Amino acid sequence: MICGLSFGQVNSDKEIENVIEKLFEGMRDKDQAVLESVFHEKAIMHTVTENGGKAALGTNSVKDFVNRIAVTPAEINLDERILEYHIKVDGEMASAWTPYEFYVNDAFSHCGVNSFQLIKEKGDWKITYVMDTRRKEGCQ
C-alpha cells in the first residue's frame, strides 16, 4: 500500500510555512509583536558555528533575539530568504528544514540551514526550537 500526503498534511505544511514566513517578515519589519507571536513561551534558539574545524554550539534566548531585531536601526535591512521547505508533521508536532540565504541591505551576508521544531497549541503552530548553521562559502 502506498501512502500519500493527506489534505490535512498539506494544510499543516502551508500553516507551518506561514508561521516561518511570519517570523522573517517580523524580522524585516523589526516588529517585536510579530516576532514574539510566532514563538512558544518556552522556545530555545541555538546556532552551530565552526572554529578551526570544530563545531561549537551557541545559545541565544528568544527574548534577546527579539530585542536585538527590534532595536536594529531603520537604515539596516535584514532579509532572510528561505530557499525551500522540508516539513514533517506528526499530529501536533512538526519539523521544518529550511535552507536560506541572509542579506543585509541587499548585500549577501551568509547562508545556512534552519531546523525548526513546532507545536500546534490551541489551533496555532508555534516555534519551540530553532537551530541554524551559518557560513559564507558553499552557498547555492
Q: What are the CA-CA distances from residue 132 to residues 14, 81, 83, 97 (Å)?
A: 21, 14, 14, 10
Please check the confidence at residue 8 and state whether its pLDDT lies above 70: no
Give residue for cell 565552526: 50
Rg (CA), the chain: 16
Give residue for cell 557560513: 135
Please check the confidence at residue 2 and state whether its pLDDT lies above 50: no
Q: How confident is the model at residue 140 (pLDDT cuts 50, 70, 90)?
A: confident
Identify whether the C-beta of residue 76 lies closer than 8 Å to the C-beta of residue 104.
Answer: yes
3-state helix, strand, coil in the chain (%, to 5): 30, 50, 25
Architecture of domain 7-133: Roll (3.10)
110-132 pLDDT tens trace: 999 999 999 999 999 999 999 99
Q: Contacts from 5-10 at CB under 8 Å and sequence distance 24+? A: 9/89
Q: How confident is the model at residue 26 (pLDDT cuts 50, 70, 90)?
A: very high
11-20 pLDDT tens trace: 789 999 999 9
